Amino acid sequence: MNEKDISANPFSLIADFEGDIAQLFATPFDEILPVLPLRNLMLFPGVVAPVTVGRESSLRLIEQAEKKGTVIAVGCQRDASVETPHVSDLYPIAVVAKVMRVIELPNGNKSAILQSFGRIRLGDETRQKPYIRAHVEKLEDILPSKDDKEYRALADACKDTTIRFVHISEAYPEEAAFAIRNIGHPVFLLNFICTNLPFELDEKATLLNENDQCQRGYKLLSILNRELQFAILKQNIQNQTREELDKQQRDFFLQQQIKNIQSELGDEQNEDVTDLINKAGFLDLPPKVREIFDKELKKLQRIPPQSPDYNIELNYAQTLVSLPWGIQTEDNLNIKHAEKVLNRNHYGMEKVKERILEHLAVLKFRNDMKAPILCLYGPPGVGKTSLGKSIADALGRQYVRISLGGVHDEAEIRGHRRTYLGAMPGRIIKSIQKAATDNPVFILDEIDKVSDRNFNGDPQSALLEVLDPEQNKAFHDNFLDVDYDLSNIFFIATANSLQNIPAPLLDRMEIIEVEGYLTEEKIQIAKRHLIPKIEEELKINADSQLKVKFKPKAFEFLIENYTRESGVRQLEKQLDKIYRKMAYLTEIEESNKFKDIGIDVANIEQLLGKPLFNRDKYQGNKYAGVVTGLAWTSVGGEILFIETSISHSKAPKLTLTGNLGDVMKESAVLALEYIKAHAEKLKLDSNIFDHWSIHVHVPEGATPKDGPSAGITIATSLASALTQRKVRANTAMTGEITLRGRVLPVGGIKEKILAAKRAGIKDIIMSVENRKDIEEINQKYIDGLTFHFVENVFEVLDIALLKEKVDDAINLDIKEDNDHH
């Protein structure tokens, strides 16, 4: 069926009404009526409208209705795509109508002219074939009186607004406005407008549902005013676009005429040259650069614009004047302000902040001081790159950044010579153009990932000139072919490792290590930076329904069990996952328990699943030969266990397992040799090593382990196993040993101490030379720990080994052993 919105022109059939319209609305009908479903057309009481009919069931309905002269119910489909609608697919309010006439169209279709009467409500469907029949209920209308002046004025307002809309819309012929203007009856007028103007069907259904004719008029007037405003706005946009297009065409023709006239007079002026001269007038070009620029400008004026060389010369000249020659931003040298900015944006990083503040303090005395060249190196995610932005904010300088990761072409740094097709400046010069000042804070990100020498040159060597304070005041870019001063730029390089950076390049930079964050520091970063950032991105405020509160222990549990990193990137991802989960639970109204009591350790597992990582816990001192050591990893400190067992063997040997590196294996050999050399002092028979094999194992065998810091731990484990003396409870140690038994200092003390404290360790043994590292740690991190500083292995054994043996000690009596054999 193709019941359409009054064919091509909704105003093709106009009618009016004279007399008492209440009689029209009171037309009698049966309780069950056949229903004609229409697409995109909703009839209002009293309106006459043509409808093109295509469905077979609808054709049978209108033909029988015309033949018998009976009334039918006419409703509108909610979804026009439904081919076989039921009563439930129609809007519930419909009208009673009569088929006045059925007309055969030239294309073979049929059109029915319908006269609508009063409103009805569609009830239950009684049958579907051959056409829909349903129960109907008559709805009463509140009609205005003949002398109602307010309604008359309302109808006139709707008429005037409709006529204005028809004039502006351009979708209706002029006859439509004339026809509406001549409709006399106000009720019929309003219902006719409701039927024929292109409103949304839902809005028409709302109007039809209104039983008070006066209220329907007010709602109609509101919709008409809105549609009129849209039509006026659309017309203004079209007129404005048309005017702009006409102006562009006019300007183009005038410019062409001016060029032709100037060409005839021999006085043609090149706009590109004029623009270059104006830009150069605002720059403080050095004398040599000014000379080269003037030379290139004259050459450009002699080249015809149609020549291929013209664009090459123009590009070069534009590059020269686009550089900020002599343009600088004034530094903000307020130390307190800089310290406030750095502390606000970054937690920790005390060494880096102190170095920046030192530079600012000295710069207040010497304004001509060269900017430092810093290299921040450390694990990913600790804030090296973002620190550059904070430094720029603190100084009041522009901020630019280039990523050097994967750069393999020297031309990326120094640019191409102009003899090459498509030549352009290097990334250094292009970034300075972007900054628009010659003293920005310049971040050279991932400098350790620049490729080595290859057939495209050596980009690492190209950086030597950039980062040398003695050379970069005359940096030579191949495209510019003139010297540019980079000495005012504050260069900051970032790297994850120093191993891949050539020694000459390292020598030109001041190396500052950005250490990984401790768990305590990560907790503060999460509270101060990560959570506010996530809540700002999610637009969470005090009135938001989504509120997430963390209990103190939840942060530590989240960091220890769901992240394994030095920085905070994974922590931010896990927090973001929690907020996403909470948003989902809030929508399905299951998050009240979290919102009211806050997120604790148990809730973390419900939100994120089972822990991804497990920290080692102290396992006690029940067995001889098991010693707790401290290790440093790229993701922070850890405790590790060294296990030693002994067994009878005809060919005694030392076995090392646990995926150990060469240095750690050498530490085990050193420890065993030292124990052998001092067996008498340990009250061991020296022949024991001829009958017992020794096996040293470090658990978590899939994880590579290396380094010398486990030296005293292995020595203590060997001594404990051979003497069958247990190790003091809650004791851990770290330190390198020599063949003479001296205990040497090791690194990563801060991370190791925090790992020991988390594991419940009370006593820590280390080299006396590590005392200075302990003094640098904040006192609150080491409260409850006792430190034992030693110089040799026997001091370690005196502290670590208990006097008594384990209850089930192995009998190591050599005499009995020899008799047995």
Phi-psi region of 522 (alpha: psi -120 to 50; beta: other; left: phi over 0): alpha
Distance set, CA 593 to CA 506, 577, 582, 584, 633 (Å)? 55, 18, 11, 14, 38
Q: Could you write out the DSSP letters of every residue in 157-223?
A: HHHHHHHHHHHHHSSS-HHHHHHHHT---HHHHHHHHHHHS---HHHHHHHHH--BHHHHHHHHHHH
CB 559 within 8 A of CB 522: yes
Q: Is residue 752 annotated as a catalytic residue, yes or no? A: yes
Three-class DSSP category at 443: strand
Please state whether beta strands 626-633 and 636-648 pair in parallel, antiparallel, or not at all (unpaired): antiparallel
Asked whether residue 713 is marked as a ligand-binding residue, the answer is: no
Is the preceding omega at residue 130 within 30 degrees of 0, hence cis? yes
Asked whether residue 149 is marked as a ligand-binding residue, the answer is: no
**Which residues, at least 6 apart from 697, have a Cβ–Cβ distance to it below 8 Å?**
642, 643, 644, 645, 656, 657, 658
Give the distance, in angstroms, between the CA of residue 362 and the centroid of all CA atoms in the same chain: 39
Give the distance, in angstroms, between the CA of residue 644 and the centroid of all CA atoms in the same chain: 50
Give strand ranges (E) for 272-403: 373-377, 399-403
| Residue recorded with tokens 């300088």 | 397
Dist. CA 644–CA 746, nearest whole Å: 23
CB 619 within 8 A of CB 569: no
Asked whether residue 380 is marked as a ligand-binding residue, the answer is: yes
- Residue 512's nearest CA partner among 748, 354, 746 is 354
Asked whether residue 381 is marked as a ligand-binding residue, the answer is: yes
- Residue 389's nearest CA partner among 378, 403, 404, 400 is 400
Asked whether residue 67 is marked as a ligand-binding residue, the answer is: no
**Which residues, at least 6 apart from 590, have a Cβ–Cβ distance to it below 8 Å?**
none
Cβ atoms < 10 Å from Cβ of 411? 22
Dist. CA 449–CA 493, nearest whole Å: 12
| Residue recorded with tokens 């991370």 | 751
CB 108 within 8 A of CB 122: no
H-type alpha helices, 484-599: 503-507, 519-525, 531-537, 552-562, 569-587, 592-597
CB 14 within 8 A of CB 179: yes
Asked whether residue 683 is marked as a ligand-binding residue, the answer is: no
97, β-bridge pairs: 72, 116
**Which residues, at least 6 apart from 223, have a Cβ–Cβ distance to it below 8 Å?**
199, 203, 207
Asked whether residue 384 is marked as a ligand-binding residue, the answer is: yes
End-to-end CA distance of the chain: 108
Which member of 431, 752, 757, 767 is catalytic?
A: 752
Distance set, CA 497 to CA 188, 380, 513 (Å)? 85, 10, 10
Give the distance, in angstroms, between the CA of residue 550 and the centroid of all CA atoms in the same chain: 23
Three-point CA angle 268, 271, 272, nearest 5°: 125
Dist. CA 21–CA 25, nearest whole Å: 7
Three-class DSSP category at 483: strand
Which member of 667, 709, 717, 767 is catalytic?
A: 709
Give strand ranges (E) for 425-501: 441-445, 475-476, 483-484, 490-495
| Residue recorded with tokens 């034992």 | 788
Distance set, CA 657 to CA 140, 158, 640, 645, 695 (Å)? 95, 93, 14, 12, 8
Which pair of structure tokens corresponds to residue 102?
């059925």
CB 94 within 8 A of CB 135: no
Asked whether residue 378 is marked as a ligand-binding residue, the answer is: yes
The secondary element (H helix, E strand) that includes residue 116 is strand 110-127
**If you ran DSSP here, which 8-state letter would residue 419 be given?**
T
CB 291 within 8 A of CB 277: no
Dist. CA 741–CA 716, nearest whole Å: 12
Known binding-site residues for ATP equal 378-385
Which residues participate in catalysis according to the annotation?
Answer: 709, 752
Known binding-site residues equal 378-385
